[in-house]
Structure 1
Protein backbone atom coordinates (compact mmCIF):
# COMPACT_ATOMS: atom_id res chain seq x y z
CA UNK A 1 0.00 0.00 0.00
CA UNK A 2 1.41 3.37 -0.98
CA UNK A 3 2.21 5.78 1.84
CA UNK A 4 -0.50 8.35 2.54
CA UNK A 5 0.10 11.96 1.52
CA UNK A 6 0.31 14.49 4.35
CA UNK A 7 -2.04 16.90 2.55
CA UNK A 8 -4.79 14.24 2.66
CA UNK A 9 -4.55 13.65 6.41
CA UNK A 10 -7.15 15.05 8.80
CA UNK A 11 -6.23 16.54 12.16
CA UNK A 12 -7.17 13.36 14.04
CA UNK A 13 -4.93 11.25 11.79
CA UNK A 14 -2.09 13.72 12.28
CA UNK A 15 -2.57 13.48 16.02
CA UNK A 16 -2.34 9.67 15.92
CA UNK A 17 0.81 9.78 13.78
CA UNK A 18 2.34 12.37 16.10
CA UNK A 19 1.61 10.24 19.16
CA UNK A 20 3.03 7.08 17.50
CA UNK A 21 6.24 8.92 16.61
CA UNK A 22 6.55 10.23 20.18
CA UNK A 23 6.06 6.71 21.52
CA UNK A 24 8.73 5.28 19.21
CA UNK A 25 11.19 7.99 20.18
CA UNK A 26 10.59 7.45 23.89
CA UNK A 27 10.43 3.63 23.78
CA UNK A 28 13.65 3.50 25.77
CA UNK A 29 11.65 4.66 28.79
CA UNK A 30 9.69 1.41 28.55
CA UNK A 31 12.77 -0.81 28.46
CA UNK A 32 13.22 -1.11 24.69
CA UNK A 33 16.79 -0.71 23.34
CA UNK A 34 15.63 1.49 20.45
CA UNK A 35 16.59 5.12 21.01
CA UNK A 36 18.15 6.43 17.78
CA UNK A 37 15.93 9.22 16.33
CA UNK A 38 16.27 8.09 12.71
CA UNK A 39 15.41 4.47 13.54
CA UNK A 40 12.51 5.64 15.72
CA UNK A 41 11.04 7.71 12.89
CA UNK A 42 11.40 4.82 10.40
CA UNK A 43 9.66 2.54 12.91
CA UNK A 44 6.83 5.07 13.30
CA UNK A 45 6.55 5.41 9.51
CA UNK A 46 6.19 1.65 9.13
CA UNK A 47 3.55 1.54 11.89
CA UNK A 48 1.41 4.34 10.45
CA UNK A 49 1.95 3.72 6.70
CA UNK A 50 3.28 7.22 5.97
CA UNK A 51 6.70 8.39 4.88
CA UNK A 52 9.44 9.55 7.24
CA UNK A 53 9.25 12.99 5.61
CA UNK A 54 5.54 13.21 6.37
CA UNK A 55 6.20 12.37 10.03
CA UNK A 56 8.94 14.99 10.23
CA UNK A 57 6.62 17.61 8.73
CA UNK A 58 3.80 16.70 11.12
CA UNK A 59 6.16 17.01 14.08
CA UNK A 60 7.24 20.46 12.89
CA UNK A 61 3.61 21.44 12.31
CA UNK A 62 2.63 20.24 15.79
CA UNK A 63 4.79 22.92 17.39
CA UNK A 64 2.50 25.69 16.04
CA UNK A 65 -0.75 23.99 15.00
CA UNK A 66 -3.45 23.85 17.67
CA UNK A 67 -5.29 21.17 15.68
CA UNK A 68 -2.75 18.58 16.87
CA UNK A 69 -2.88 18.06 20.61
CA UNK A 70 0.12 17.25 22.76
CA UNK A 71 1.15 13.56 23.12
CA UNK A 72 -0.31 11.56 25.97
CA UNK A 73 3.02 11.64 27.90
CA UNK A 74 2.68 15.45 28.29
CA UNK A 75 -0.03 17.58 29.83
CA UNK A 76 -2.66 18.25 27.15
CA UNK A 77 -3.19 21.85 26.16
CA UNK A 78 -6.77 23.02 26.39
CA UNK A 79 -7.92 25.21 23.55
CA UNK A 80 -9.62 28.40 24.63
CA UNK A 81 -13.25 28.71 23.68
CA UNK A 82 -13.55 31.62 21.30
CA UNK A 83 -16.52 33.92 20.99
CA UNK A 84 -18.21 33.39 17.61
CA UNK A 85 -17.58 36.22 15.16
CA UNK A 86 -21.30 36.72 14.53
CA UNK A 87 -21.91 37.30 18.25
CA UNK A 88 -18.86 39.40 19.13
CA UNK A 89 -18.33 41.63 16.10
CA UNK A 90 -21.68 43.40 15.85
CA UNK A 91 -21.96 46.79 14.12
CA UNK A 92 -20.66 48.66 17.18
CA UNK A 93 -17.59 46.48 17.69
CA UNK A 94 -16.86 46.58 13.95
CA UNK A 95 -16.93 50.36 14.24
CA UNK A 96 -14.45 50.28 17.15
CA UNK A 97 -12.19 48.00 15.11
CA UNK A 98 -12.32 50.39 12.15
CA UNK A 99 -11.46 53.40 14.31
CA UNK A 100 -8.59 51.46 15.89
CA UNK A 101 -7.09 50.73 12.46
CA UNK A 102 -7.58 54.28 11.17
CA UNK A 103 -5.98 55.74 14.30
CA UNK A 104 -2.71 54.12 13.20
CA UNK A 105 -2.87 56.02 9.91
CA UNK A 106 -3.43 59.26 11.82
CA UNK A 107 -0.32 58.59 13.91
CA UNK A 108 1.66 57.69 10.77
CA UNK A 109 2.10 54.12 12.02
CA UNK A 110 1.76 50.81 10.19
CA UNK A 111 -1.36 48.95 11.46
CA UNK A 112 -0.07 45.38 11.67
CA UNK A 113 -2.34 42.50 12.60
CA UNK A 114 -0.34 41.93 15.80
CA UNK A 115 -0.78 45.55 16.95
CA UNK A 116 -4.50 45.61 16.15
CA UNK A 117 -5.01 42.28 17.92
CA UNK A 118 -3.37 43.57 21.11
CA UNK A 119 -5.37 46.82 21.08
CA UNK A 120 -8.70 45.09 20.48
CA UNK A 121 -7.98 42.67 23.33
CA UNK A 122 -7.59 45.69 25.63
CA UNK A 123 -10.39 47.92 24.35
CA UNK A 124 -13.06 45.28 23.65
CA UNK A 125 -11.83 42.36 25.81
CA UNK A 126 -11.60 40.34 22.59
CA UNK A 127 -10.55 36.74 23.25
CA UNK A 128 -10.54 35.44 19.69
CA UNK A 129 -7.59 34.52 17.50
CA UNK A 130 -5.65 36.75 15.14
CA UNK A 131 -6.90 34.69 12.20
CA UNK A 132 -10.51 35.41 13.16
CA UNK A 133 -9.65 39.09 13.52
CA UNK A 134 -8.00 39.07 10.09
CA UNK A 135 -11.21 37.69 8.54
CA UNK A 136 -13.30 40.39 10.21
CA UNK A 137 -10.92 43.10 9.00
CA UNK A 138 -11.26 41.74 5.47
CA UNK A 139 -15.06 41.68 5.83
CA UNK A 140 -15.24 45.38 6.76
CA UNK A 141 -13.09 46.44 3.80
CA UNK A 142 -9.42 46.21 4.78
CA UNK A 143 -6.84 44.26 2.82
CA UNK A 144 -3.07 43.99 2.49
CA UNK A 145 -1.80 45.94 -0.51
CA UNK A 146 1.73 46.55 -1.70
CA UNK A 147 2.89 50.16 -1.46
CA UNK A 148 6.40 50.87 -2.75
CA UNK A 149 7.17 47.16 -2.66
CA UNK A 150 5.96 46.68 0.92
CA UNK A 151 2.63 45.31 2.12
CA UNK A 152 0.35 47.56 4.16
CA UNK A 153 -3.14 47.14 5.57
CA UNK A 154 -5.24 49.36 3.31
CA UNK A 155 -8.93 50.21 3.19
CA UNK A 156 -10.74 49.24 -0.01
CA UNK A 157 -11.36 52.11 -2.44
CA UNK A 158 -15.15 51.66 -2.59
CA UNK A 159 -15.46 52.07 1.19
CA UNK A 160 -13.22 55.16 1.10
CA UNK A 161 -15.31 56.63 -1.73
CA UNK A 162 -18.60 55.96 0.09
CA UNK A 163 -17.29 57.60 3.28
CA UNK A 164 -16.02 60.64 1.37
CA UNK A 165 -19.35 61.13 -0.42
CA UNK A 166 -21.32 60.76 2.83
CA UNK A 167 -19.19 63.25 4.78
CA UNK A 168 -19.28 65.72 1.90
CA UNK A 169 -23.06 65.51 1.70
CA UNK A 170 -23.54 65.82 5.47
CA UNK A 171 -21.27 68.87 5.55
CA UNK A 172 -23.50 70.55 2.97
CA UNK A 173 -26.62 69.55 4.92
CA UNK A 174 -25.25 71.02 8.16
CA UNK A 175 -24.19 74.21 6.43
CA UNK A 176 -27.73 74.66 5.10
CA UNK A 177 -29.21 74.25 8.57
CA UNK A 178 -31.31 71.19 7.71
CA UNK A 179 -32.85 69.10 10.50
CA UNK A 180 -31.10 65.71 10.61
CA UNK A 181 -32.96 62.64 11.87
CA UNK A 182 -31.09 59.41 12.64
CA UNK A 183 -32.86 56.07 12.92
CA UNK A 184 -31.63 52.66 14.04
CA UNK A 185 -32.68 49.32 15.51
CA UNK A 186 -31.35 47.34 18.45
CA UNK A 187 -32.47 44.56 20.80
CA UNK A 188 -32.54 43.74 24.49
CA UNK A 189 -33.32 40.63 26.52
CA UNK A 190 -36.42 40.85 28.68
CA UNK A 191 -34.58 39.73 31.84
CA UNK A 192 -31.51 41.91 31.35
CA UNK A 193 -29.88 43.03 34.62
CA UNK A 194 -26.64 44.75 35.43
CA UNK A 195 -23.65 42.52 36.22
CA UNK A 196 -22.69 44.55 39.32
CA UNK A 197 -24.57 46.74 41.78
CA UNK A 198 -24.11 48.28 45.23
CA UNK A 199 -25.34 46.27 48.21
CA UNK A 200 -25.71 46.99 51.90
CA UNK A 201 -22.52 45.51 53.36
CA UNK A 202 -23.67 46.24 56.94
CA UNK A 203 -26.64 43.93 56.64
CA UNK A 204 -26.33 40.30 57.74
CA UNK A 205 -28.05 39.30 54.51
CA UNK A 206 -26.76 40.97 51.35
CA UNK A 207 -29.51 42.88 49.61
CA UNK A 208 -29.22 43.65 45.93
CA UNK A 209 -30.75 43.05 42.52
CA UNK A 210 -32.46 39.68 42.27
CA UNK A 211 -31.12 37.85 39.23
CA UNK A 212 -34.02 36.47 37.16
CA UNK A 213 -33.93 32.95 35.78
CA UNK A 214 -32.92 32.87 32.12
CA UNK A 215 -32.61 35.71 29.65
CA UNK A 216 -36.29 35.82 28.81
CA UNK A 217 -37.66 36.91 25.47
CA UNK A 218 -35.76 39.17 23.09
CA UNK A 219 -37.32 42.53 22.23
CA UNK A 220 -36.57 44.56 19.10
CA UNK A 221 -36.47 48.34 19.42
CA UNK A 222 -36.73 50.78 16.51
CA UNK A 223 -36.54 54.52 17.13
CA UNK A 224 -35.37 57.79 15.59
CA UNK A 225 -33.99 61.01 16.99
CA UNK A 226 -32.29 64.33 16.28
CA UNK A 227 -30.46 67.01 18.24
CA UNK A 228 -33.79 67.69 19.99
CA UNK A 229 -33.96 64.12 21.34
CA UNK A 230 -36.02 61.11 20.35
CA UNK A 231 -38.85 61.79 17.90
CA UNK A 232 -42.15 61.75 19.86
CA UNK A 233 -44.68 58.98 19.20
CA UNK A 234 -42.13 57.20 17.04
CA UNK A 235 -40.90 54.14 18.93
CA UNK A 236 -41.58 50.60 17.76
CA UNK A 237 -41.01 47.75 20.25
CA UNK A 238 -41.97 44.15 19.55
CA UNK A 239 -40.95 40.69 20.71
CA UNK A 240 -38.67 38.69 18.42
CA UNK A 241 -39.61 35.20 17.31
CA UNK A 242 -36.16 33.79 18.07
CA UNK A 243 -32.79 34.84 19.50
CA UNK A 244 -30.99 35.27 16.20
CA UNK A 245 -29.64 38.47 14.69
CA UNK A 246 -32.15 41.27 15.22
CA UNK A 247 -31.80 42.22 11.54
CA UNK A 248 -33.52 38.91 10.74
CA UNK A 249 -36.56 39.93 12.81
CA UNK A 250 -37.41 42.96 10.65
CA UNK A 251 -38.79 42.97 7.13
CA UNK A 252 -39.50 45.65 4.56
CA UNK A 253 -43.28 45.69 5.14
CA UNK A 254 -42.93 46.22 8.90
CA UNK A 255 -40.23 48.87 8.52
CA UNK A 256 -42.05 50.76 5.75
CA UNK A 257 -45.28 50.81 7.76
CA UNK A 258 -43.40 52.31 10.75
CA UNK A 259 -41.59 54.77 8.49
CA UNK A 260 -44.80 56.04 6.86
CA UNK A 261 -47.14 56.15 9.86
CA UNK A 262 -44.83 56.90 12.82
CA UNK A 263 -41.71 58.66 11.56
CA UNK A 264 -42.77 60.90 8.67
CA UNK A 265 -45.75 62.58 10.43
CA UNK A 266 -43.64 63.47 13.49
CA UNK A 267 -40.50 65.11 12.07
CA UNK A 268 -39.99 68.74 10.96
CA UNK A 269 -40.46 69.64 7.27
CA UNK A 270 -37.57 69.11 4.83
CA UNK A 271 -35.66 66.82 7.19
CA UNK A 272 -32.66 64.70 6.23
CA UNK A 273 -33.19 61.08 7.34
CA UNK A 274 -29.98 59.10 7.93
CA UNK A 275 -30.07 55.29 8.01
CA UNK A 276 -27.83 52.31 7.30
CA UNK A 277 -27.95 49.90 4.36
CA UNK A 278 -30.03 47.10 5.88
CA UNK A 279 -31.89 45.18 3.20
CA UNK A 280 -35.32 46.12 4.58
CA UNK A 281 -34.34 49.80 4.31
CA UNK A 282 -33.65 49.37 0.60
CA UNK A 283 -36.51 47.61 -1.15
CA UNK A 284 -36.31 48.69 -4.79
CA UNK A 285 -39.07 49.93 -7.10
CA UNK A 286 -39.00 48.52 -10.64
CA UNK A 287 -35.82 46.64 -9.85
CA UNK A 288 -33.72 46.02 -12.98
CA UNK A 289 -33.70 42.39 -14.15
CA UNK A 290 -30.94 40.03 -13.14
CA UNK A 291 -29.56 36.78 -14.54
CA UNK A 292 -32.26 34.93 -12.62
CA UNK A 293 -35.05 36.86 -14.41
CA UNK A 294 -36.84 35.18 -17.30
CA UNK A 295 -36.59 36.47 -20.87
CA UNK A 296 -40.10 37.97 -20.85
CA UNK A 297 -39.32 40.09 -17.77
CA UNK A 298 -36.00 41.26 -19.23
CA UNK A 299 -37.61 42.15 -22.55
CA UNK A 300 -40.43 44.05 -20.82
CA UNK A 301 -37.96 46.12 -18.77
CA UNK A 302 -35.99 47.02 -21.89
CA UNK A 303 -39.12 48.03 -23.82
CA UNK A 304 -40.24 50.24 -20.90
CA UNK A 305 -36.86 51.97 -21.23
CA UNK A 306 -37.59 52.60 -24.91
CA UNK A 307 -35.06 50.05 -26.15
CA UNK A 308 -35.84 48.30 -29.43
CA UNK A 309 -35.42 44.56 -28.78
CA UNK A 310 -34.84 42.45 -31.92
CA UNK A 311 -36.56 39.08 -32.08
CA UNK A 312 -34.60 35.90 -31.45
CA UNK A 313 -32.09 37.26 -28.93
CA UNK A 314 -30.75 34.87 -26.34
CA UNK A 315 -31.00 35.67 -22.64
CA UNK A 316 -27.30 36.51 -22.39
CA UNK A 317 -27.72 39.03 -25.23
CA UNK A 318 -30.74 40.59 -23.52
CA UNK A 319 -28.71 41.01 -20.31
CA UNK A 320 -25.98 42.74 -22.31
CA UNK A 321 -28.60 45.27 -23.44
CA UNK A 322 -29.67 45.73 -19.81
CA UNK A 323 -26.07 46.47 -18.80
CA UNK A 324 -25.82 49.08 -21.58
CA UNK A 325 -28.99 50.93 -20.55
CA UNK A 326 -29.05 50.65 -16.75
CA UNK A 327 -28.25 53.88 -14.88
CA UNK A 328 -28.07 55.08 -11.29
CA UNK A 329 -31.54 56.54 -11.74
CA UNK A 330 -32.90 53.02 -12.11
CA UNK A 331 -32.18 52.32 -8.42
CA UNK A 332 -35.26 53.70 -6.71
CA UNK A 333 -36.06 52.68 -3.15
CA UNK A 334 -39.53 52.58 -1.64
CA UNK A 335 -38.33 54.45 1.47
CA UNK A 336 -36.72 57.21 -0.59
CA UNK A 337 -39.93 57.72 -2.56
CA UNK A 338 -41.98 57.87 0.66
CA UNK A 339 -39.64 60.46 2.15
CA UNK A 340 -39.58 62.53 -1.05
CA UNK A 341 -43.40 62.62 -1.23
CA UNK A 342 -43.40 64.25 2.24
CA UNK A 343 -40.64 66.74 1.39
CA UNK A 344 -37.80 64.83 3.12
CA UNK A 345 -34.62 63.20 1.81
CA UNK A 346 -32.85 59.96 2.75
CA UNK A 347 -29.06 59.75 3.15
CA UNK A 348 -27.49 56.33 3.69
CA UNK A 349 -24.46 55.66 5.84
CA UNK A 350 -21.30 54.32 4.17
CA UNK A 351 -20.80 50.57 4.74
CA UNK A 352 -19.37 49.59 8.15
CA UNK A 353 -19.57 53.16 9.53
CA UNK A 354 -22.24 52.97 12.20
CA UNK A 355 -20.19 55.44 14.29
CA UNK A 356 -21.66 58.22 12.14
CA UNK A 357 -25.07 57.41 13.60
CA UNK A 358 -25.35 58.85 17.17
CA UNK A 359 -28.19 56.42 17.92
CA UNK A 360 -25.64 53.58 17.90
CA UNK A 361 -23.85 55.21 20.82
CA UNK A 362 -27.14 55.56 22.70
CA UNK A 363 -27.87 51.85 22.24
CA UNK A 364 -24.34 51.00 23.37
Structure 2
Protein backbone atom coordinates (compact mmCIF):
# COMPACT_ATOMS: atom_id res chain seq x y z
CA UNK A 1 0.00 0.00 0.00
CA UNK A 2 1.11 3.48 -0.79
CA UNK A 3 1.73 5.74 2.17
CA UNK A 4 0.27 9.04 0.99
CA UNK A 5 0.03 11.86 3.47
CA UNK A 6 -3.46 12.80 4.55
CA UNK A 7 -4.54 16.42 4.33
CA UNK A 8 -7.70 16.02 6.36
CA UNK A 9 -6.26 18.02 9.28
CA UNK A 10 -5.28 20.99 7.11
CA UNK A 11 -7.66 23.62 5.87
CA UNK A 12 -7.82 24.42 2.18
CA UNK A 13 -5.73 27.41 1.15
CA UNK A 14 -7.43 30.73 0.57
CA UNK A 15 -7.65 31.97 -2.97
CA UNK A 16 -4.73 34.29 -3.53
CA UNK A 17 -5.69 37.76 -4.60
CA UNK A 18 -3.63 39.28 -7.38
CA UNK A 19 -1.39 42.11 -6.24
CA UNK A 20 -2.72 44.67 -8.67
CA UNK A 21 -4.54 47.85 -7.91
CA UNK A 22 -8.09 46.72 -7.23
CA UNK A 23 -9.26 49.74 -5.30
CA UNK A 24 -10.69 49.45 -1.80
CA UNK A 25 -11.23 46.14 -0.07
CA UNK A 26 -14.78 45.04 0.51
CA UNK A 27 -16.09 44.58 4.01
CA UNK A 28 -15.97 40.78 3.61
CA UNK A 29 -12.27 40.87 2.67
CA UNK A 30 -11.48 43.12 5.60
CA UNK A 31 -13.41 40.86 7.96
CA UNK A 32 -11.64 37.74 6.70
CA UNK A 33 -8.30 39.54 7.15
CA UNK A 34 -9.19 40.37 10.76
CA UNK A 35 -10.32 36.77 11.36
CA UNK A 36 -7.00 35.51 10.00
CA UNK A 37 -5.18 38.03 12.21
CA UNK A 38 -7.04 36.78 15.29
CA UNK A 39 -6.40 33.14 14.33
CA UNK A 40 -2.65 33.72 13.95
CA UNK A 41 -2.52 35.49 17.31
CA UNK A 42 -4.38 32.67 19.09
CA UNK A 43 -2.21 29.97 17.46
CA UNK A 44 1.08 31.78 18.11
CA UNK A 45 0.65 34.38 20.85
CA UNK A 46 4.37 35.33 21.02
CA UNK A 47 4.72 36.05 17.27
CA UNK A 48 5.97 39.48 16.20
CA UNK A 49 3.56 41.85 14.53
CA UNK A 50 5.62 42.09 11.32
CA UNK A 51 5.55 38.30 11.03
CA UNK A 52 1.75 38.33 11.42
CA UNK A 53 1.48 40.93 8.68
CA UNK A 54 3.76 39.00 6.34
CA UNK A 55 1.70 35.82 6.91
CA UNK A 56 -1.51 37.69 6.06
CA UNK A 57 0.13 39.18 2.97
CA UNK A 58 1.31 35.78 1.69
CA UNK A 59 -1.98 34.05 2.54
CA UNK A 60 -4.44 36.61 1.20
CA UNK A 61 -2.34 38.36 -1.44
CA UNK A 62 -3.08 41.84 -0.13
CA UNK A 63 -0.53 44.64 -0.01
CA UNK A 64 1.33 45.22 3.26
CA UNK A 65 0.15 48.80 3.57
CA UNK A 66 -3.47 47.69 3.28
CA UNK A 67 -2.97 45.03 5.94
CA UNK A 68 -1.32 47.54 8.29
CA UNK A 69 -4.09 50.08 7.69
CA UNK A 70 -6.88 47.55 8.24
CA UNK A 71 -5.36 46.16 11.43
CA UNK A 72 -4.78 49.70 12.71
CA UNK A 73 -8.44 50.49 12.01
CA UNK A 74 -9.49 47.31 13.83
CA UNK A 75 -7.29 48.05 16.86
CA UNK A 76 -8.52 51.63 17.20
CA UNK A 77 -12.25 51.10 16.65
CA UNK A 78 -12.73 47.39 17.39
CA UNK A 79 -14.43 46.85 14.03
CA UNK A 80 -13.83 47.40 10.35
CA UNK A 81 -16.16 49.41 8.18
CA UNK A 82 -16.93 49.21 4.50
CA UNK A 83 -15.21 51.72 2.24
CA UNK A 84 -17.07 54.96 1.72
CA UNK A 85 -18.00 55.85 -1.81
CA UNK A 86 -17.55 59.55 -2.26
CA UNK A 87 -19.33 59.68 -5.60
CA UNK A 88 -17.23 62.61 -6.75
CA UNK A 89 -18.27 66.20 -6.96
CA UNK A 90 -21.55 67.08 -8.64
CA UNK A 91 -21.13 67.99 -12.27
CA UNK A 92 -21.69 71.44 -13.63
CA UNK A 93 -24.94 70.33 -15.22
CA UNK A 94 -26.45 69.58 -11.80
CA UNK A 95 -25.63 73.07 -10.55
CA UNK A 96 -27.84 74.81 -13.12
CA UNK A 97 -31.16 75.98 -11.75
CA UNK A 98 -34.36 76.12 -13.77
CA UNK A 99 -34.03 79.81 -14.64
CA UNK A 100 -30.59 79.24 -16.16
CA UNK A 101 -31.93 76.29 -18.14
CA UNK A 102 -34.82 78.41 -19.39
CA UNK A 103 -32.44 81.17 -20.44
CA UNK A 104 -30.34 78.67 -22.39
CA UNK A 105 -33.51 77.24 -23.94
CA UNK A 106 -34.51 80.77 -25.03
CA UNK A 107 -31.08 81.29 -26.57
CA UNK A 108 -31.52 78.12 -28.63
CA UNK A 109 -35.01 79.18 -29.73
CA UNK A 110 -33.71 82.60 -30.73
CA UNK A 111 -31.49 80.85 -33.29
CA UNK A 112 -34.57 79.17 -34.74
CA UNK A 113 -36.38 82.52 -34.90
CA UNK A 114 -33.43 83.96 -36.85
CA UNK A 115 -33.55 80.92 -39.17
CA UNK A 116 -30.07 79.88 -38.12
CA UNK A 117 -28.98 76.40 -37.23
CA UNK A 118 -27.94 76.35 -33.57
CA UNK A 119 -24.61 74.66 -32.99
CA UNK A 120 -22.84 74.17 -29.70
CA UNK A 121 -20.22 76.76 -30.53
CA UNK A 122 -22.84 79.38 -31.41
CA UNK A 123 -24.84 78.64 -28.26
CA UNK A 124 -21.70 78.72 -26.14
CA UNK A 125 -20.74 82.12 -27.57
CA UNK A 126 -24.22 83.52 -26.85
CA UNK A 127 -24.16 82.14 -23.31
CA UNK A 128 -20.79 83.74 -22.65
CA UNK A 129 -22.03 87.07 -24.03
CA UNK A 130 -25.35 87.14 -22.19
CA UNK A 131 -24.89 85.23 -18.95
CA UNK A 132 -22.47 85.00 -16.07
CA UNK A 133 -21.67 81.38 -16.94
CA UNK A 134 -18.15 81.99 -18.20
CA UNK A 135 -16.90 78.59 -17.00
CA UNK A 136 -19.26 76.47 -19.14
CA UNK A 137 -17.28 74.16 -21.36
CA UNK A 138 -18.23 72.52 -24.63
CA UNK A 139 -18.80 69.11 -23.01
CA UNK A 140 -20.82 70.55 -20.10
CA UNK A 141 -23.05 72.40 -22.53
CA UNK A 142 -23.56 69.20 -24.52
CA UNK A 143 -24.68 67.36 -21.36
CA UNK A 144 -26.92 70.25 -20.35
CA UNK A 145 -28.60 70.32 -23.76
CA UNK A 146 -29.33 66.61 -23.48
CA UNK A 147 -30.75 67.14 -20.00
CA UNK A 148 -33.16 69.86 -21.13
CA UNK A 149 -34.44 67.52 -23.88
CA UNK A 150 -32.65 68.79 -26.94
CA UNK A 151 -31.19 66.23 -29.29
CA UNK A 152 -28.65 66.38 -32.08
CA UNK A 153 -29.10 65.32 -35.67
CA UNK A 154 -26.39 64.90 -38.24
CA UNK A 155 -27.46 65.93 -41.69
CA UNK A 156 -24.98 65.75 -44.51
CA UNK A 157 -22.10 65.74 -42.01
CA UNK A 158 -23.41 68.84 -40.24
CA UNK A 159 -24.95 68.47 -36.81
CA UNK A 160 -28.18 70.26 -35.96
CA UNK A 161 -29.72 70.79 -32.59
CA UNK A 162 -33.45 70.13 -32.49
CA UNK A 163 -36.12 69.59 -29.89
CA UNK A 164 -38.01 66.36 -29.35
CA UNK A 165 -40.97 65.82 -31.66
CA UNK A 166 -43.57 65.86 -28.89
CA UNK A 167 -42.33 69.26 -27.68
CA UNK A 168 -42.45 70.64 -31.22
CA UNK A 169 -46.03 69.36 -31.66
CA UNK A 170 -47.02 70.86 -28.30
CA UNK A 171 -45.56 74.25 -29.23
CA UNK A 172 -47.34 74.11 -32.61
CA UNK A 173 -50.71 73.25 -31.03
CA UNK A 174 -50.39 76.00 -28.40
CA UNK A 175 -49.53 78.57 -31.06
CA UNK A 176 -52.54 77.48 -33.17
CA UNK A 177 -54.82 77.81 -30.12
CA UNK A 178 -53.37 81.25 -29.38
CA UNK A 179 -53.92 82.41 -32.99
CA UNK A 180 -57.52 81.16 -32.94
CA UNK A 181 -58.22 82.93 -29.64
CA UNK A 182 -56.80 86.15 -31.12
CA UNK A 183 -59.09 85.76 -34.13
CA UNK A 184 -56.28 85.54 -36.65
CA UNK A 185 -57.01 83.82 -39.96
CA UNK A 186 -55.25 80.48 -40.40
CA UNK A 187 -54.10 79.35 -43.83
CA UNK A 188 -53.21 75.71 -44.39
CA UNK A 189 -50.82 74.98 -47.23
CA UNK A 190 -50.25 71.74 -49.14
CA UNK A 191 -53.73 70.35 -48.51
CA UNK A 192 -55.61 68.61 -51.26
Verify same fold: TM over 0.5.
no
Please report the TM-score for the alignment, with normalisation by the length of structure 1. 0.24
User: Which of the pair is proportionally richer in helix?
Assistant: 2
Query: Is the radius of gyration larger for structure 1 or structure 2?
Result: 2
Please report the TM-score for the alignment, with normalisation by the length of structure 2. 0.42
